[in-house]
């Protein structure tokens, strides 16, 4: 892969990784005796390794390929493999923490393996590690195809991808050492946050520059969703992580906000992480890969524009529904509730648009597990957005909040929607960019599909039962006005559901392992197939393109 | 100007409301503007052509 870069680019790679390695060394020296120092060593080792990989190819001959004739897919390939790696790690951690809740002895009495430290490894592992890498990789793929232009730059996509993974590694290793700034989904400390801002700005510039090179007059709707994802996540990340380090030689920092402002900022961030990290970018995936795989244009392009702006402008207000019955002013709570209910309209517009696209191609859904992944993802998207709007209503929230119902809701979205659309997209894109005839085994794709669907259904039903049981037990009073059940009583009642959840999660993990195996075997064992056409063309050249109906 | 709770919430409740309504009207008009239909149809079909359409 290094030999596909020009000598100048290889030197640039050496310079960049050298600088980052030095920054790691500085962090290791300044932060010695603290978790920050360990992160310095990690950075030094990873960046140093990259320096030697680049240096090893420094004197290789210049690449001979004509860069205007093909797309640049190397970062996409590595990104997809990293996504699958993080899927196995992150979901494995999820199964472990689920099992700890059912059988607490599985903690094995170490500090690093306590629930409070492993849980963020699970959440960050699946959201940022798996989801983030899948988003970055597919965005590189989609922006090139829909623009009919090669990536703008050969170094910056690597910087974005590997820099983001450095952030993920620092995050996960920090949790195990007890580093956290106590903000859900924004646990990493100040130096990791600053690093992510740099990476993210490069990502945004890369996307805009590629769009600027496009040979296609209209910017396809998937790109809008990806752009919203990149831009809004940057804003959310910067504002929510405004903090003052206690010292520049240690990880600990203090938030710039306090009290209810801090809570509101955190949940403005937290809910929009769901909106713009876990929804917007994945809708971009849906709007590209679903029509592509079904070989039918999206049912209503107009509706996709309308639901894009609906989602962007409603979601940003919905965060306060996480703070019902708190010190937050009542009107802010009501505002969040109202916008959450209104959100149902653009959400169902997208889900309906996806399903209407498949209307008339149901035989493909039946035969093709890859397309079925996408179809079921759209169904779960519709279900979980309905559930979310419902749970944001204050009266419902009084029962559901702080219970396992919330956990079930999140996983209906994360497993049923985000993970299924990602796996469907991965199965669709792997044969295309590795130039293979097909996936290694369609039977394994079927196995993955049914394990993932079965696991999700078991998980979600277990948590619905558990959460409603828990919520009702909390609010049951005796005749004399005291609480009828102790906290321990609720735990005993929830135990069977916790066992069921661990089983559902294990099935989902098994599916992901099968998927990773299938992808690796596809790359290694399936014979090469040159695509009919998968390279950039001028906009004039595609004028007489075959209409999609033919 | 002092940034009080009353001033900011009054601003949010008035200007914020108007801008959201104006925006949603604007977007709806854009999305359903009749003469843009051809462009949208072409865009919707463009993704299907990029990998298996005719060679130039």
Minimal CA separation from A61 to chain B, in Å = 31
Residue B55 CA to residue A530 CA, distance in Å, equals 14
Structure tokens at A286: 């849906």
What pLDDT, in 10s, does the model give residues A294-312?
A: 999 999 999 999 999 999 9
**pLDDT the model gives residue A297:** 95
Distance CA A472, CA A494 (A): 12
User: Considering only CB atoms, which chain B residues are within 8 Å of A303?
Assistant: 31
Sole residue written with tokens 């462009």: B39
Residue A243, φ and ψ in degrees, nearest 5: -155, 160
Cα–Cα nearest to A463, from A172, A98, A147, A133? A98
Q: How far does B47 lie from chain A, in Å, by closest CA?
A: 6
Test B39 with A218 for CB contact under 8 angstroms.
Answer: yes
The ipTM, to two decimals, is 0.84
Q: Model confidence over A161-178: pLDDT tens digits?
A: 999 999 999 999 999 999
Other residues' Cβ atoms within 10 Å of the Cβ of residue A455: 26
Helix (H, G, I), strand (E, B) or coil at A211: helix
For residue A222, give the 3-state DSSP assignment: helix
Give CB contacts under 8 A, 24+ apart, made by A22-31: A23/A47, A24/A48, A27/A191, A30/A248, A30/A249, A31/A249, A31/A250, A31/A251
Q: Indicate the residue of B27, B46, B50 with minimum beta-carbon distance to A306.
A: B27
Q: Which residues of B touch A146 (CB under 8 A)?
A: 46-47, 50
Q: State the nearest Cα–Cα gap between B20 and chain A, in angstroms.
A: 8
Structure tokens at B16: 């914020």
A545 touches chain B (CB under 8 A): yes
Closest CA to A421 of A284, A299, A311, A308: A284
Nearest to A198 by CA among A79, A30, A20: A20
Structure confidence at residue B50 (pLDDT)? 62
Mutating which of B5, B45, B55 best tests the A interface, going by the most A Cβ atoms within 10 A? Answer: B45
Q: How far is CA A27 from CA A35, A43, A167, A420, in A?
A: 10, 9, 14, 39
Q: How far apart are CA A194 and CA B6, in angstroms?
A: 34
CB burial of A141-154 (b: ≥16 within 10 Å; e: otherwise) equals bbbbbbbbbbbbbb
| Residue of A148, A14, A153 whose CA lies nearest to A74 | A153
Rounded to an integer, the average pLDDT of A184-202 is: 97
Q: pLDDT grade, residue A545 (50/70/90)?
A: very low
| Interface probe, candidates A215, A329, A545, chain B, greatest B C-beta count within 10 A | A545
Q: How many CA atoms lie within 13 A of A439 on its CB side?
A: 24
Contact between residue A66 and residue A12 where contact means Cβ atoms under 8 Å apart: no
Q: Phi first, then psi: what are they for A483, rounded to 5°?
A: -70, 135
Distance from C-alpha of A448 to C-alpha of A445, rounded to nearest angstrom: 5
What is residue A548's predicted lDDT score, i.e. its pLDDT?
Answer: 41
pLDDT digits (tens, 9 = 90+) for A39-61: 999 999 999 999 999 999 989 99
Residue A107: pLDDT over 80: yes
Mutation choice for A interface testing from B4, B30, B31, B38 by most A CBs within 10 A: B31
In order, the DSSP letters of A452-518 are HHHHHHHHHHHHHHHHHHHHHHHT-B-TTSSBSS-HHHHHHHHHHHHHHHHHHHHHHHHHHHHHHHH
pLDDT of residue A506: 98
Mean pLDDT over A483-492 rounds to: 96
In this prediction, residue A529 has a pLDDT band, given cuts at 50, 70 and 90, of confident
Q: Which residue of B has its CA nearest to A544?
A: B54
Q: State how far the Cα of A97 lies from the Cα of A345, in Å rounded to an integer.
A: 35
Residues composing chain A: 550
- Half-sphere exposure of A381 toward its Cβ, with a 13 Å CA cutoff? 32
Determine the pLDDT at residue A534.
75
- Average pLDDT value for residue range A400-421: 97
What local confidence, expressed as pLDDT, does residue A446 receive? 98
Write down the pLDDT at residue A533: 67
For the segment A525-532, the average pLDDT, to the nearest whole number, is 80
pLDDT, chain A, mean? 94
CA-CA distance, A187 to A193, in Å (whole number)?
9
Q: Which residues of B touch A547 (CB under 8 A)?
A: 45
> How far apart are the C-alpha atoms of A266 and A337, rounded to whole Å?
17
CB A145 within 8 A of CB A117: no
Q: What is the mean pLDDT of residues A194-223?
A: 94
Contact B31 A546 (CB under 8 A): no
> Residue A452 and residue A512: Cα distance in Å, rounded?
8
Residue A247 reports pLDDT greater than 90 = yes
A292 CB near a chain B CB, below 8 Å?
Answer: yes
CB contact under 8 A, A297 and B41: yes
Taking residue A325's Cβ as centre, other Cβ atoms within 10 Å add up to 11
Stated pTM of the model: 0.94
Cross-strand partners of A255: A243
Who among B9, B37, B47 is closest to A288 (CB)? B47
Residue B54's pLDDT is: 32
B1-56: pLDDT as tens digits: 678 888 888 888 889 889 888 988 999 999 999 999 999 998 898 888 765 433 33
Sign, CA dihedral A121-A122-A126-A127, equals negative
- Which range is least confidently modeled, A65-74, A221-230, A381-390? A65-74
Chain A CA closest to residue B29: A306
**Measured between CB atoms, does A302 come within 8 Å of chain B?**
yes
What confidence score (pLDDT) does residue B49 get?
A: 75
CB of B14 within 8 Å of any CB in chain A?
A: no
- What local confidence, expressed as pLDDT, does residue B56 receive? 30
User: Residue B1: what pLDDT?
Assistant: 64
Which of the four pLDDT bands, split at 50, 70 and 90, describes residue A543?
very low
CB of A148 closer than 8 Å to CB of B50: yes
The CA-based angle A241-A245-A246, given to 5 degrees, is: 140
Q: Which one has a higher pLDDT value, A155 or A550? A: A155
Each residue of A331-383: pLDDT tens digit? 899 999 999 999 999 999 999 999 999 998 999 999 999 999 999 999 999 99
Interface mutation vs chain B, best among A428, A529, A546, A550, most B CBs within 10 Å: A546
Q: Compute the average pLDDT of residues A219-228.
A: 96
Q: What is the pLDDT of residue A204?
A: 98
End-to-end CA distance of chain A: 38
Contacts of A196-199 with CB under 8 Å at 24 or more apart are A196/A164, A196/A167, A196/A237, A197/A234, A197/A237, A197/A238, A198/A163, A199/A159, A199/A160, A199/A163, A199/A164, A199/A167
Mean pLDDT computed over A119-129: 97
Rg of chain B in Å (alpha carbons)? 21
Q: Which of A36, A40, A20, A200 is CA-nearest to residue A128?
A: A200
Please give the structure tokens belonging to residue A446. 């079927």
Interface touch B54/A546, C-beta < 8 Å: yes
* Cα–Cα distance measured from residue A114 to residue A95, given in angstroms and rounded to the nearest whole number: 14
Do B53 and A545 count as a contact with CB atoms less than 8 A apart?
A: yes
pLDDT band at A422 (very low <50, low <70, confident <90, very high): very high
| pLDDT(A291) > 50 | yes
């Amino acid at each position: 892969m290094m030999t596909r870069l020009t000598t100048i680019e290889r030197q640039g790679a050496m310079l960049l990784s050298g600088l980052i390695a030095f920054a790691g060394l500085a962090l290791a020296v300044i932060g010695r005796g603290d978790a920050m120092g360990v992160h310095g060593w990690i950075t030094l080792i990873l960046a140093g390794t990259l320096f030697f990989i680049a240096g090893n190819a420094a004197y290789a001959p210049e690449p001979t390929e004509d860069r205007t004739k093909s797309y640049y897919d190397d970062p996409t390939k590595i990104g997809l493999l990293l996504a699958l790696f993080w899927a196995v790690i992150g979901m494995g951690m999820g199964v472990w923490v689920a099992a700890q809740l059912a059988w607490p002895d599985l903690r094995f009495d170490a500090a690093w393996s306590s629930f409070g430290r492993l849980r963020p490894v699970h959440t960050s592992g699946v959201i940022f590690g798996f989801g983030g890498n899948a988003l970055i990789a597919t965005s590189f793929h989609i922006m090139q195809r829909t623009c009919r232009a090669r990536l703008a730059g050969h170094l910056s996509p690597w910087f974005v991808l590997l820099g983001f993974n450095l952030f993920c590694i620092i995050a996960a290793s920090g949790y195990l050492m007890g580093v956290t700034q106590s903000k859900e989904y924004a646990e990493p400390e100040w130096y990791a946050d600053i690093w992510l801002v740099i990476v993210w700005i490069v990502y945004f510039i890369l996307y805009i520059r590629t769009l600027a090179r496009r040979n296609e007059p209209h910017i396809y709707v998937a790109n809008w969703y990806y752009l919203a994802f990149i831009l809004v996540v940057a804003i959310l990340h910067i504002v929510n992580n405004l903090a003052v380090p206690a010292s520049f030689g240690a990880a600990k920092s203090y938030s710039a906000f306090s009290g209810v402002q801090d809570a509101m900022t955190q949940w403005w961030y937290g809910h929009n992480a769901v909106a713009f990290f876990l929804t917007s970018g994945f809708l971009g995936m849906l709007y590209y890969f679903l029509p592509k795989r079904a070989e039918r244009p999206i049912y209503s392009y107009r509706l996709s524009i309308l639901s894009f702006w609906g989602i962007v402008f409603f979601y940003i207000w919905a965060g306060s529904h996480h703070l019902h019955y708190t010190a937050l002013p009542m009107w802010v709570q009501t505002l969040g509730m109202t916008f959450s209910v209104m959100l149902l309209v653009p959400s169902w517009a997208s889900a309906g648009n996806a399903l209407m696209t498949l209307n008339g191609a149901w035989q493909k859904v039946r035969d093709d597990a890859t397309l079925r992944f996408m179809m079921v993802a759209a169904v779960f998207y519709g279900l979980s957005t309905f559930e979310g709007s419902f749970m944001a209503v204050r009266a419902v929230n009084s029962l559901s909040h702080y219970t396992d119902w919330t956990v079930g809701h999140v996983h209906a979205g994360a497993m049923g929607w985000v993970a299924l659309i990602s796996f469907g997209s991965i199965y669709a894109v792997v044969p295309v960019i590795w130039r293979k005839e097909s996936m290694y085994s369609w039977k394994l794709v079927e196995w993955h599909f049914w394990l993932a669907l079965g696991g999700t259904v078991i998980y979600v039903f277990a948590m619905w039962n558990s959460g409603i049981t828990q919520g009702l037990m909390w609010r049951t009073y005796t005749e004399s006005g005291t609480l009828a059940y102790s906290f321990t009583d609720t735990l005993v009642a929830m135990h069977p559901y916790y066992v069921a959840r661990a089983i559902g999660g294990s099935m989902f993990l098994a599916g992901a392992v099968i998927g990773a195996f299938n992808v690796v075997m596809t790359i290694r064992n399936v014979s090469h197939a040159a695509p009919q056409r998968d390279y950039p063309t001028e906009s004039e050249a595609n004028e007489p393109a075959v209409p999609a109906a033919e | 100007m002092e940034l009080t709770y009353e001033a900011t919430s009054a601003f949010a409740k008035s200007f914020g409301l108007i801008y959201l309504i104006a925006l949603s009207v604007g977007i709806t008009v854009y999305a359903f503007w009749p003469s843009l239909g051809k462009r949208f149809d072409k865009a919707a079909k463009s993704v299907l052509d990029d990998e298996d359409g005719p060679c130039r």
